[in-house]
Amino acid sequence: MIIAERKPMKELLEMVSDVKRLLIVGCRGCVAVCSAGGDKEVSILAAALRLGMKKAGKQIEIDEDTLVRQCDPEYIDPLNDRASDYDAVLSMACGVGVNFIADRCPDVNVMPALNTTFYGANLSSGEWKEMCAGCGACVLHLTGGLCPVARCAKSLSNGPCGGSQGGRCEINPDVDCIWQQIYDKLSSLNRKEELRQIMPIRDWTTAGHGGPRRRIREDLLP
Amino acid sequence: MMAGSNLENVLRSGTFAVTGELGPPKSGDMEVVRKKARILKGHVDAVNITDCQTAIVRMSSLTAGLIALSEGVEPVMQMTCRDRNRIGMQADILGASALGIKNLLCLTGDHQKFGNHPQSKGVFDMDSIQLLQMVKGMRDDKKFQCGEDIKKAEPRLFLGCAANPFADPFEFRPVRLAKKVEAGADFVQTQIIYNIEKFRKFMEIVRDLGLHERCFILAGVTPPKSLGMARYMKKFVPGLDVTDEVIQRLSDAKDQKEEGIDICVDIINQVREIPGVSGVHVMAIEWEEAVPEIVKRAGLSDRPEPTGIEPVLTSTGAIEEAVDKARQEAKIELEGQLKKAKAEAQATRDLLAKEKEKVASEISGLKKQIEEAKNMVSRKEAEIRKLTEELKKAKESMDESQAVKPTVQAKEAAVGVSPLLSAREQQVLNSLNKGLAALKEVLGLDDAQFEAMRRFLEAEFMLQLGTAVVQAGPLETAKAESEVSRPVVETPTVEPAMEVSEDKRTERPKEVVNLVAKGNVALHNKDYPKAVEAFKKALEIASDDEKAKEGLEQAREALAKEKEAADKAVKVKEVEGLPPCPEELDPEEWKQKWIVRFTARGNVALMKGDYEAAKREFQKALELDPDYEKAKDGLRRAENQEDIFVPDVELGQEAVAAPKAEKAPESQKPEPAAEVKPEEETPPEEEAVPAEEEKEEVAEKPAAPQPKPKVEISAPAGEGVKDLSVASLAKDEPPLEERAKGIPEDVYKEPCTGVIQSVSIGDGDKAITVGGETALPFHTFEGDIPNMPRTAYEVLDAPPEEWPECLVRYYSDVINDSAAWAKKCVSEFGAEAICLSLDSTDPNGPNVSSADAAQIAKKVIEAVDVPIILWGCGNAEKDTETLREITSLIENRNVCIGPLTDANYRTLGATAMAFQYPVVASTPIDVNLAKQLNILLENLGVHLDHILMDPSIGAVGYGLEYTYSVMERIRLAALTQQDEKLSPPIVCNLGREVWKAKETRLPTDAELGDQERRGVLMEAITASTLLLAGGELAIMRHPKAINLTKVLIDGML
Amino acid sequence: MSKIKGFCCNYTLSVDIEALIKEGLVPEDLEIERLPCTGRLEVPQLLDAFSDGAEAVFVVGCQLDKCHNLSGSYRASKRVKYAKRILEELDIDPDRVEMFFAGRGETEPVVEAARIMASRSKG
């Protein structure tokens, strides 16, 4: 899922410093699952902003709402009707939600409450880890299912660099060397010979370096 | 030749190469680069110019490389993938090539996190291996990475890469190097080596992969400048293995710098011995001054004359500087020569003076001749002076004009000298020589005396000429000239110099002189056939030329010797079919080398999948040494067409274990049955399901024990359970004592010290008693369980509204009459007890009056003779009212009433006490609350043996675990801690919990299966679980579920 | 308006707060909210207490290993921790909110907590 985290309160307070009527809109998609922008986080943020604004001697009225998703038109379009009730809408969705509201709700002054960080998985309660970079050209079948693009500090394609020591990455001993893991995984699958193949220079156009990406499935188009 | 760089030339010539490292400054100060380059110049064959190492911004490697080049130091430009994408890199590569850079080291680059701009975006468009591939493509295929042609002047670069033998995974390191070589690396420089043993093992694998044959390997070394630096490297530099020995040596040393250099030299000496190492890469980080000393102590200071170092761009300043320098050098050398000649002349003169005296009278005639010669010499002197004057003038003019011009002038001047000199001058010298020869005969001088005389005369001659004509030495003007024209040190050309001197001494035709000179050069180079040919040619022209004759003889002699030696060598080795053994090696060593080489080739072929070629190579190796294990192994693999990955090498123990483990599955391949396949994992699971069913409902659908959702979809709802009977559990298992034979009893027995209260409900012979045990539920081996757990059928006081059809249908005929319902339960289903739920009295529901409810209850009580539990609606006030109403109607039937809560225990407790009814004490799911209510009841006067605890339960999926845990704790407290207040039996009103769960109400579908079955199982499982937790009385609804539960109880006790 | 607000688990405080105030054992401006279990307490409640004028807020739950709901007071302590983080971000002294633990039916720890928080609210 998409992992995000709340922006620092100072940044958010500055963002809404001139707002009198604010709607905080959460999202029950990924950000709810990663405890960044679901119902609970919306109420916490609302309480924190109220307190922060009060401390700054400013008046603010904050309403709370949480949508099923902010990446489908049917959920965000109703915001158009509520636009006149608020000076600003603070979206607690990932960047997709903020953009989509901006795209579809002409009168809504939308702001982001979160920093969208990565595509990751939930290791344990309160801990998430990046697993995918969304590069658009998956090579996981060659690397035992472990992604060198997302999980190697240098996105290497052809094996561990000289900084791999004891299974750890040179940039930080808390970071695993994914190439060591790829090597171990393929060894255990009896496939390590495959690592002798030189992986050719990548085509990064699919990774967004070819411009904003779009996906179309003809059969589903209206 | 890939690029013709000096480094490439040195490596290809087989000379042990030395490269250095130069870190560009963190400024635009060119002088820093110049200074470092000058320190290294002449001590190394090439110098690596780092590319913002450790991600710290520095002068670019391309620029610093060009500055070094202008200093006459060959750069190895480093290029990392961190800072540029393929567009930027290819652009820089073209530029570097255009400006004379010929070596490129391709690196991935240190992560930006380590540098002074950790916030920057790392590019890493590709990695070092892909970079090598790209540059190789540019060089060899003349194509850009995109595939487009490079139309003109493709970059010619000698490509290098790095390798770290000390990083993990160790076994993969040589493979990664193989990938780099495959991608295009011509040479490799390793990470700093301190751990020689590990490097040796690395090299062993490298040799087995044949990589040392495909690229040059330079071992990386660094002198540790101090103990602190060594410790830092050991601790903080990833992928660097500083041994404890090095640390120890430094900490013991008086002078750490000295010791550091010694350590480095020791390492160089050791790595030199490792086969496959072609050179060293000395990285003296910010300690360039140490390099000359290291190189000297390692005995490597005799570097080959550099070739191929040609800066393309130089400033006019640089040219002037170079010209000045060359001129000064020439001048100094000239003066030196003169001085030397003078001194020599003086010495000889003294010697000759004595001789002269001795033979004075007899040489007067000859003296005359000498006198004459001297005169001639003085005349020549004048001429020479004139020429020198001219030369001076030419040089002066050169200072003003462009660099190229004076060269031409100087050349002309030099050319002008020789014809003037040659004719008469040679004549004089010739006659002198002849005269001297005659003198020697006359005087009977021995060879030494004669030589001394001859040299004196020649020296005198030279002295007067003022220019050097040294036998077999270079013509000084010519040398000066060559240095002026190019600021590059070139090998002094021997041939033309000899030619000139020869030319001056004799009148031999120029051609002959040339040929003889050529012959002599060839002789010197040990190219005897060529020498013979040259001398022969010379004799063809001048058949009596002594020098040529002499040379020819020498050459022939040498040739004969060589042939003899070669013949001998061939005799030794022909049998083995090897190329001739070089002189410096003994044949046995040579043979060993070839065994390894053949094996390596074999492995290379094996890796490529060319099994035939591999076989051939391994066979060759085995011909030389039939016992060579690696070749044998290789041959076997080739014959079996097996692939190799990492050959067996004696590594550390762990490393040995790894390849072995790898092999194991291979050997198992022919027996796939031995491996556990995922498909095989499923059947046991499937078996597990029917096994469970067998336990609880063997009788049901015995023909088709496996659930078939498809069939059940089409089946009309309600067909799930047809037969209410349940087969009993097998009881033929031997008792525990027997099964646990041999195990001490105290191991599995943990007898309890407490006792559960016995509570009786009902009258006469239908009365039931629950509780009374002194052991945990069903632990018959640990204590006494006098009364088995019981079940009660729940009957409602009004037709149920929310019961699913699959449950209602068993009671549909009696649904409107609670008494008939209860009766049916007893007569038809064999109910042991009835629980009448007075749900309709709920003030929030139908709110049937207590009086009406009491009437219904009365009818029920009268209809059946089994024990009755009266269960209120849960509203404390209403229940008090209703239950009191009922108790006033029934006379001496011993019913159980409930639920008593903390809100109504006083009133209901008093009622119960008055009639001696057992009560249900109901509390929210909590041990302490349950205990508290018991205490309160006891304080009121209700005895514990008249209390059934209802701890509030949850159905499976709805908090069953919590219920279980609380009940278990209650039971343990009573039995193991003798907590009497928790000792009443537990009643579980679970039917209502189960049948209000969503899952029992959803209709039959493919996913959830048959509705009734589902409900029955949920109820039976909830019941059995709660009984295991300590429940004594289960109030349930579905007859089938009750039967299942009963069978379980029966089977377990 | 109360200056100090306390959230107490129903199982801790066994004495009427009015009585405590009368006895002068706790500050007069103390307001106690009883909860069935502190595990139910959410961060916004803590923050809202400040917004409503409290100078200091505290939570008294059961001893960590004695919680009636097993992990209720543990959850509460984590939420207090998170509330501290937010206060810090808002430049409010994080010590203005604190978690305390008390045994079943014990009143003293609550009194003690109120005193501690009263001293912090003045600081």
Q: C81-109, pLDDT tens digit by residue?
A: 999 999 999 999 999 999 999 988 888 89
Residue B538's pLDDT is 80
Query: Which of B895, B823, B907 lies closest to B864 in space, CA to CA?
Result: B823
Q: B169: cis peptide before it, omega within 30°?
A: yes
The confidence band for B422, taking pLDDT boundaries of 50, 70 and 90, is low
Domains and CATH numbers, chain C: 4-122 (3.40.50)
Residue B891 is classified by DSSP as: -
Q: Could you give the ipTM of this predicted complex? A: 0.93
Cβ separation C47–A54 shorter than 8 A:
no
Please judge whether A153 and B133 are an interchain contact, meaning their C-beta atoms are less than 8 angstroms apart. Answer: no
User: What phi and psi values does residue B561 have, to the nearest 5 degrees?
Assistant: -60, -45
Using pLDDT thresholds of 50, 70 and 90, give the confidence band for residue B239. Answer: confident
Chains that touch A (3 or more CB pairs under 8 A): B, C
Q: Are C47 and A47 a contacting pair at CB < 8 A?
A: yes
Q: How far is CA B968 from CA B920, B1023, C94, in A?
A: 19, 14, 42
With an 8 Å Cβ cutoff, is A134 touching chain B? no
The secondary structure element, H or E, covering residue B221 is: strand B216-221
Q: With an 8 Å Cβ cutoff, are A48 and C50 in contact?
A: no
Q: How far is A56 from chain C (nearest CA, A)?
A: 10
Average pLDDT, chain B: 81
pLDDT tens-digit map of B792-829: 999 999 999 889 999 999 999 999 999 999 999 999 99
Mutate to test the interface with B, among A161, A197, A199, A204 (most CBs of B within 10 A): A161
pLDDT (mean) for B504-532: 73
How many whole angstroms separate alpha carbon A140 and alpha carbon A90? 37
Contacts of B108 in chain A (CB under 8 A): 154, 156, 161
Q: What are phi and psi of B870, to 5 degrees?
A: -105, 120
**Statement: residue B544 has pLDDT above 70:** yes
Give the model's pLDDT for residue B460: 60
- Contact indicator for C47, C89 with CB cutoff of 8 Å: no
Q: Where are the beta strands (DSSP E) in B389-528?
A: none
Topology alike, domains B6-297 and B765-917+989-1052: yes
> What residue ranges do the domains of chain B occupy?
6-297, 331-359+373-487+495-562, 587-644, 678-706, 765-917+989-1052
Q: Is B786 helix (H, G, I), strand (E, B) or coil?
A: coil
Rounded (10°) angle between helices B86-98 and B61-70: 10
Is CATH 3.20.20 the right assignment for the domain spanning A2-118? no
* pLDDT band with cut points at 50, 70 and 90 for residue B292: very high
Identity at B1015, one-letter amino acid code:
G
Look at residue A79 in the predicted model and tell me its pLDDT.
Answer: 95
Are the beta carbons of B101 and B69 closer than 8 angstroms? yes
Three-state SS for C70?
coil
Task: Report how far residue C19's alpha carbon sits from residue C13's, in angstroms, rounded to the nearest whole number.
Answer: 12
Helix, strand, coil percent content, chain C, rounded in steps of 5 = 45, 20, 35
Q: What is the DSSP letter of C39?
A: G
pLDDT of residue C75: 94
SS (H, E, C) chain A: CEEEEECCHHHHHHHCCCCCEEEEEEECCHHHHCCCCCHHHHHHHHHHHHHHHHHCCCCCEEEEEEECCCCCHHHHCCHHHHHHHCCEEEECCCHHHHHHHHHHCCCCCEEECEEEEEEEEEEECCEEEEEECCCCCCCHHHCCCCCHHHHCCCCCCCCCCCCCECCEECCEEEEECHHHHHHHHHHHCCCHHHHHCCCCCCCHHHHCCCCCCCCCCHHHCC
Residue B583: the pLDDT is 67
Enumerate residue ranges in chain A where pLDDT < 70: none
Kindly state whether A47 is in contact with chain C, defined as any CB-CB distance less than 8 angstroms.
yes
- Which residues of B fall within a CB distance of 8 Å from A163? 110-111, 167, 238-239
Q: How confident is the model at residue B400 (pLDDT cuts 50, 70, 90)?
A: low
Residues B301 and B292 sit within 8 Å (Cβ to Cβ): yes
Are B288 and B225 contacting, i.e. CB atoms less than 8 angstroms apart? no
The CA distance from A25 to A38, in Å, is 9
d(CA B939, CA B497): 131
Interface test with A, best of B111, B181, B666, B668 (most A CBs within 10 A): B111
Neighbours of C9 (CB within 10 A): 28
Interface contact C90-A9, CB threshold 8 A: yes
Best C5, C45, C51 residue to mutate vs chain A (most A CBs within 10 Å): C51
| CATH class of this structure's domain B6-297 | alpha beta
B607–A198 C-beta distance less than 8 A? no
User: For the domain B765-917+989-1052, what is the CATH superfamily, name and number?
Assistant: Dihydropteroate synthase-like (3.20.20.20)
Q: Which residues of B touch A172 (CB under 8 A)?
A: 113
Q: Taking CB atoms and an 8 Å limit, are B183 and A198 in contact across chains?
A: yes
Say which amino acid occupies C44.
Answer: P
Task: Give the model's confidence band at B990: pLDDT under 50 very low, under 70 low, under 90 confident, else very high.
Answer: very high
Residues B579 and B571: their CA atoms lie apart, in Å, by 12
B817: three-class secondary structure by DSSP = coil
Q: Residue type for B473, please?
A: G
Give the pairing type, strands B1031-1036 and B986-989.
parallel
- What's the gap in Å between the CA of A149 and the closest CA on chain B? 10
Average pLDDT over residues B407-432: 54
d(CA B305, CA B606): 40
Of residues B406 and A175, more confidently modeled:
A175
Within 10 Å of residue A24's Cβ, how many Cβ atoms?
26
pLDDT score, position B616: 86
> pLDDT value at position B835?
94
In angstroms, rounded to a whole number, what is the distance separating the alpha carbons of residues B1018 and B311? 89
Taking residues B294-304, what's their average pLDDT? 93
Q: Do A43 and C50 touch (CB under 8 A)?
A: no
Please tell me what DSSP assigns to residue B982. G
Chain C: partners with 3+ C-beta pairs within 8 Å: A
Please give the pLDDT value at position B174: 96
Look at residue B517 and give its three-state secondary structure. Answer: helix
Q: How far apart are CA B896 and CA B886, in angstroms?
A: 11
By C-alpha distance, the chain B residue nearest A192 is B645
- Select the residue of A156, A163, A198 nearest B239 (Cβ to Cβ): A163
Reduce the DSSP state of residue C58 to 3 states and report it: strand
- Cβ-based contacts of A9 with chain C (< 8 Å): 86, 89-90
* Pair of tokens at residue B147: 């595939």
> Does B645 contact chain A (CB < 8 Å)?
yes
Collect all residues of chain A within an 8 Å Cβ-Cβ radius of residue C50. Answer: 51
CB proximity A54 to C under 8 Å:
yes
Of B790, B757, B756, B761, nearest to B945 by C-alpha is B757
Provide the shortest C-alpha distance from residue C18 to chain A (in Å).
29
Q: How far apart are CA C36 and CA C39, in angstroms?
A: 9
H or E, element range at B1036: strand B1031-1036
Please give the Cα distance from B658 to B56 (Å, whole number).
39
Under 8 Å between Cβ of A12 and A51: no
Helices B818-827 and B850-863: crossing angle in degrees, nearest 10, is: 30
Give the span between the Cα atoms of B837 and B647, in whole angstroms.
80
Burial tier of B388 (Cβ tally within 10 Å: 0-12, 13-18, 19+): middle
Radius of gyration of the CA atoms of chain B, in A: 54
Among A47, A52, A55, select the one facing C43 at the smallest CB separation: A47
A52 and C CB contact within 8 Å:
yes
Identify the pLDDT of residue B349. 82
**Residue B542 to residue B546: CA distance in whole angstroms:** 9
Distance CA A95, CA A111 (A): 10
C-alpha to C-alpha distance for A182 and B477, rounded to whole angstroms: 67
Contact between A56 and A76 (Cβ < 8 Å): no
* Chain pair A-B, CB pairs under 8 angstroms: 108
Query: What are the sequence ranges of the domains in chain A?
Result: 2-118, 133-206
Q: Are strands A172-176 and A168-169 parallel, antiparallel or unpaired?
A: antiparallel
Cβ-Cβ contacts under 8 Å for B185 (sequence gap 6 or more) = B106, B132, B159, B160, B161, B215
Q: What is the phi/psi pair of residue B982, to 5°?
A: -115, 15
3-state secondary structure of B768: strand
Q: Which has more confidence, B506 or B627?
A: B627
pLDDT in tens, B666-719: 444 444 444 444 444 444 444 444 444 444 444 444 444 444 444 333 333 444
Neighbouring chains to B with at least 3 Cβ pairs closer than 8 Å = A
Q: What is the DSSP string of B262-324?
A: HHHHHHHHHHHTSTTEEEEEE--TT-TTHHHHHHHHTT---PPPP-S---S---HHHHHHHHH
A191 touches chain B (CB under 8 A): no
To test the contact with chain A by mutation, choose from B81, B89, B120, B129 the residue with the greatest count of A C-beta atoms within 10 A, namely: B129
Interface probe, candidates A154, A197, A205, chain B, greatest B C-beta count within 10 A? A154
Cis peptide before A8 (omega within 30 of 0): no
pLDDT for position C2: 54
Write the residue in B122, B164, B645 that is nearest to A192 by C-beta: B645
- pLDDT, tens digit (0-9, with 9 covering 90-100), for B97-125: 999 999 999 999 999 998 999 999 999 99
Task: Give the three-class secondary structure for B791.
Answer: strand
Cβ contact, residue pair A202, B126, below 8 Å: yes
CA–CA distance, B196 with A10 (Å, rounded to integer): 56
Cβ atoms of residues A20 and A61 within 8 Å: yes
Centre a 10 Å sphere on the Cβ of residue A72 and count the other Cβ atoms it contains.
Answer: 13
Chain C CB contacts of A14 below 8 Å: none
Q: How far is C97 from chain A (nearest CA, A)?
A: 14
B324 has a pLDDT exceeding 50: yes
